[in-house]
């Protein structure tokens, strides 16, 4: 069964594929102590889709959800943000949930997503025919970590996206709690290197592959057409083919909470890519989008 899409007569510019979950965020005190919490949603690919709409583009979020109130809350919020939905409902598997302890330097998260509806995504989930007219297909390293069928689906998605005439965007987005380091190290390198556009944090690249600098990351991922290495509050570097790398420093931001900034950066960069901007402008757009999320407690850009 599929949730009816909020389809537009114009083709989607970007399709973001991956899991969203219910998000329970502690308020006023850590999870172990608080008596109040906020209920929202979390999901890297959904965050990117929302950011793309906020930047003026037609975005789709594609996934699977359980037949439960958390799923309804997610779909209601995505529609409220103007994101088109290509979502299947699974009556036999739940929507995942995560809990978050917010912090300025870092946030601790706890996942309850094993066996979720999204983990049942499999090859053929999106066909080349469904993707026809789409310019970018985006996913992250979270999706192949969910299950063997999801990993196979992502491999097939690269093929099907290109068959449909789209480029593939991949954010490494390593989630240590989801799989072993050895498994992540090999799979994420393979998928990032095969992408047309890949995003990776310098710190997560060092954790995964022992690459200390952006140049080292590029040497480890030489085949990716356009590689963006993010280095927190330092800045971001883009490597395009054999051209000289382009670096843009990050703006100074009073950080409220860091989760979601990487997804926002990707949305800003990809929106500027669709606009035909040069690399420096794309990097600046990524920083600006990240800054808007860093100054709030939410994972998505604030609605005006």
Residue 208 dihedral angles phi and psi, to the nearest 5°: -80, -50
Q: Is 263 a catalytic residue?
A: yes
Residue 266 dihedral angles phi and psi, to the nearest 5°: -60, -40
How many whole angstroms separate alpha carbon 212 and alpha carbon 202?
7
CB 254 within 8 A of CB 287: no
CB 21 within 8 A of CB 97: yes
Buried/exposed code over 135-170 (b: 16+ C-beta within 10 A; e: otherwise): bbbbbbbbbbbbbeebbebbbbbbebbeebebbbbb
| Count of residues making up the chain | 304
Buried/exposed code over 101-119 (b: 16+ C-beta within 10 A; e: otherwise): bbeeeebebeeebeebbbb
Buried/exposed code over 179-191 (b: 16+ C-beta within 10 A; e: otherwise): beeeebbebbbeb
Of the candidates 263, 278, 299, 304, the residue annotated as catalytic is 263
**Catalytic residue positions, numbered:** 263
């Amino acid at each position: 069964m599929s949730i009816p899409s909020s389809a537009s007569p114009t083709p989607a510019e970007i399709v973001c594929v991956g899991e969203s979950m219910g998000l329970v965020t502690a308020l006023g005190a850590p999870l172990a102590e608080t008596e109040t919490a906020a209920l929202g949603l979390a999901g890297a690919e959904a965050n990117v889709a929302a950011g793309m709409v906020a930047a003026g583009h037609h975005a789709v979020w594609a996934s699977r959800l359980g037949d439960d109130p958390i799923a309804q809350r997610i779909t209601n919020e995505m529609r409220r943000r103007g994101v088109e939905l290509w979502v299947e409902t699974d009556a036999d598997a739940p929507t995942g949930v995560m809990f978050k302890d917010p912090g300025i330097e870092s946030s601790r998260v706890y996942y309850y997503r094993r066996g979720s509806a999204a983990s049942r995504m499999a090859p053929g989930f999106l066909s080349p025919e469904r993707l026809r007219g789409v310019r970018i297909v985006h996913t992250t390293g979270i999706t192949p970590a969910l299950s063997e069928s999801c990993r196979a689906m992502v491999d097939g998605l690269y093929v099907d996206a290109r068959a449909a005439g789209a480029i593939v965007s991949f954010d490494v987005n390593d989630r240590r709690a989801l799989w072993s380091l050895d498994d992540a190290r090999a799979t994420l390198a393979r998928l990032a290197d095969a992408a047309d556009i890949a995003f990776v944090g310098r710190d997560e690249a060092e954790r995964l592959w022992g690459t200390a600098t952006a140049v080292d990351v590029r040497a480890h991922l030489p085949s990716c057409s356009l590689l963006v290495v993010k280095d927190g509050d330092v800045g971001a570097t883009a490597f395009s083919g054999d051209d000289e790398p382009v670096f843009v420093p990050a703006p100074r931001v009073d950080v409220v909470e860091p989760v979601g900034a990487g997804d926002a950066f990707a949305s800003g960069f990809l929106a500027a890519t669709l606009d035909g901007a040069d690399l420096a402008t794309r990097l600046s757009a990524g920083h600006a989008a990240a800054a808007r999320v860093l100054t709030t407690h939410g994972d998505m850009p604030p609605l005006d």
